[in-house]
Structure 1
Amino acid sequence: MQTSNTFALIGIDRYRSPRIEDLSCCLSDAKSYRNHLITSLHVPEENILCLTDEAATRDGILNALRSRFLQNDKIGPEDAMIFGFVGHGAQVEAPDGWIADDMMSESLHGEPSHAQRLMDSKNLASRS
């Protein structure tokens, strides 16, 4: 059986909240990653979901993770699920056992507990 990769790419330049500074290259970076996957790595377009700006809301991202990774019958036990985020983030202390040059790990802003519950190892392990 041939393995495949499934991608969810998120790129956000424009934020709805006036308290969050807009960015200028995230949207183009996400689109460049998508283009590279298709043209250089020959990943089928249907294996790549790319959410940007207005579509990349909290609910949009969580729904994408759910539909692309957890509720996708096309993903088999040997397939890779890759999530890429280009936008504002944060750094948190890396968990024990993780290799991180500065002992920090990149993290998304917001309520990580909901996304972590959605994508925790038990949920992902049940996909194999």
Structure 2
Amino acid sequence: MPDQAVLLQEAVRQFGEAWASGDLRTLDALLSPTYSHSDAFGKLYDRAGWLAYAAARAGRGTQISFREVETRYIGDIAVVTGVNDLTGGGIRNAGDQTDLSIRFTQVWLLRDGKWLREAFQATPIQEDSNGA
């Protein structure tokens, strides 16, 4: 049986890349039926609303990277925290060329041997912030 930590790490990476490219098929397969998403601008989406938003991302040049990633496991639940650096444009809308870094919290559920993303919350961060 594959190591569940490795499978989760792969699911998190696949999800990020699918979001950046607008790959709706992969996103749909990795979302739980009761998914909720709070984006970096305070908008709250249910599963259907977020998938509609994600579908509109197809064809954008956004790139995503992960850092400071930490994972905690509580039974069949994983809480993943870290930072995403979003570059290459198309982050807020198709014409947007502004880069963005976000601190995220993701909640993943292990169901029938597969990790599904249950919830997401993002907060924009500035690298030069002194924490005040």
Q: TM-score range by the shorter chain?
A: under 0.3
Which has the larger share of strand?
A: 2
Question: Which structure's CA Rg is the greater one?
Answer: 1
TM superposition score normalised by structure 2: 0.25
Which has the larger share of helix?
A: 1
TM superposition score normalised by structure 1: 0.26
